[in-house]
Amino acid sequence: MMLCTAVCPVFCGAQQLQVPASAVAGQDLNLTTAGSGRGSFYLLGPGISRKTEVDLGEPIDLAGQDLRNAGEYTAVLCAGSCQSARFFVIAAKPSSLTFLVHPSRVPVAQGDAISGVAFSFDPYHNLTRSPLNIRFQLGFKGTALWARTVRTQNGVAWFRANSWKSAGPVQVAASSDQFSTTRVVQQVASDPCNLRITGQHTRTGILVQTEPVHDCAGNVVSDGTVITFTATGADGKATVDAPIKQGVASAQMKSAGPTVISVASGVVMGNEIHLGAQP
């Protein structure tokens, strides 16, 4: 600090600046100055850089609007020499959650298949780091399936959960006392189970068709799932991939002699059928 001992028409030394150790985001703040005459006051922080002329000895009012971003601020008071002080603005009370949930679609009845992460923020989008209890909940058609309360650590809480046994939309919620955020995970049928086919000769070959395709929990497997039919006969092997449409998959295959037809979907095998020669 440089003391001004001479006459100072504009700037007068011996200025002092006092700041609090910390302030809360969005709240007004008063800084105390000492000295006499005029000086330049600077405030630099996240989102703000300002220079104003001030009267030394008078308090400096900082509006909450200027202190919305949590972080470190530097106040500098210059009157011939400069004096600086640093203070922190901490986040205000939590008011919202950023909630990330994965995946958006998940097969039913899978272990640890759904996960979620929640970060707590104040009204000014600052990460709040004070511990907060967050209740994670999975619901299906109005029924609570699973719930757990997790305390945030470093502003974040997370969970993992199994997917439910039924296909359909599952609501995944993260909530605190005063606010809540919900996401939806679409549960879809798992791999086909008990894949069964029937077949018959037609004038142009063999028509094979699955029975309605379900997973092991009885959910209808989604349309578009590919079913692979393989025909093995005297003239070799033929393979047809057919998507499920309205719950069943079918294919027309060319074969005149005795034929063995098998079916599969991914790694799941179904039954085999044996068809004799075409009459």
Residues of this chain that bind another protein (CB under 8 A) = 1-2, 17-22, 40, 42, 44, 46-51, 69-72, 74, 76, 78, 80-88, 90-91, 100, 102-103, 115, 117, 119, 125-127, 129, 153-156, 158, 160
Nearer to another protein by C-beta: 43 or 206? 43
Nearer to another protein by C-beta: 2 or 269? 2
Measured between alpha carbons, how far is 144 from 148 in angstroms, rounded to an integer? 11
Nearer to another protein by C-beta: 86 or 254? 86
Whole-angstrom Cα Rg for the chain: 35
> Is the Cβ–Cβ distance between 150 and 156 less than 8 Å?
no
CB atoms within 10 A of CB 275: 19
Smallest gap, in angstroms, from Cβ of residue 58 to another protein? 19
Smallest gap, in angstroms, from Cβ of residue 21 to another protein? 5
Determine how β-strand 250-253 pairs with β-strand 205-210.
antiparallel
Cis peptide before 258 (omega within 30 of 0): no
Smallest gap, in angstroms, from Cβ of residue 246 to another protein? 34
Smallest gap, in angstroms, from Cβ of residue 125 to another protein? 5
Measured between alpha carbons, how far is 57 from 201 in angstroms, rounded to an integer? 102
Measured between alpha carbons, how far is 138 from 182 in angstroms, rounded to an integer? 10
Smallest gap, in angstroms, from Cβ of residue 267 to another protein? 24
Nearer to another protein by C-beta: 115 or 228? 115
Nearer to another protein by C-beta: 123 or 247? 123
- Three-point CA angle 105, 195, 243, nearest 5°: 55
